[in-house]
């Protein structure tokens, strides 16, 4: 239950934060949530990681499908990911996830066990 709440809160706070702040607000969001909802290190990391992985993946997919993959395909040719929009979206989601995961992990180590 704690995990699920942390997961949802991180995602929501990140989404709201990104409306007003630069992208790295996701680290702040994950850190704050993990500091408030204390969990074991692995669980904290996972909640942060999956919150952002799922949030960014879903947002990216939503925009990308409405765009019929036009821009993601082009960007995936530039980066270079062989023009695979799926690879690009997974990469974005992974990057968001890792940053949030490590921020959450930091917070979990802050608190005494």
36: contact with another protein by CB under 8 A: no
**DSSP structure string for the chain:** -HHHHHHHHHHHHHHHHHHHS-TTHHHHHHHHHHHHS---HHHHHHHHHHHHHHHHHHHHHHHHHHTTTHHHHHHHHHTTSTT-HHHHHHHHHHHHHHHHHHHHHHHHHHS--
Q: Does 56 bind another protein (CB under 8 A)?
A: yes
**Contact positions vs another protein (CB under 8 A):** 15, 18-19, 22-24, 26-27, 31, 41, 56, 59-60, 63-64, 66-68, 70-72, 74-78, 80, 83, 91-92, 95-96, 98-99, 102-103, 105-106, 109-113
């Amino acid at each position: 239950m704690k995990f699920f709440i942390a997961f949802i809160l991180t995602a929501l706070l990140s989404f709201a934060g990104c409306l007003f702040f630069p992208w790295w607000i996701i680290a702040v969001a994950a850190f704050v949530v993990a500091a408030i909802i204390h969990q074991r290190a692995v669980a904290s990391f996972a909640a942060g990681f999956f919150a952002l992985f799922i949030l960014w993946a879903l947002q990216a997919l939503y925009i990308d499908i409405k765009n019929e993959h036009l821009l993601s395909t082009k960007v995936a040719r530039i980066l270079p990911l062989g023009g695979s929009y799926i690879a690009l979206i997974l990469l974005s989601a992974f990057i968001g996830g890792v940053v949030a995961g490590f921020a959450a992990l930091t917070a979990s180590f802050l608190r005494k066990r």
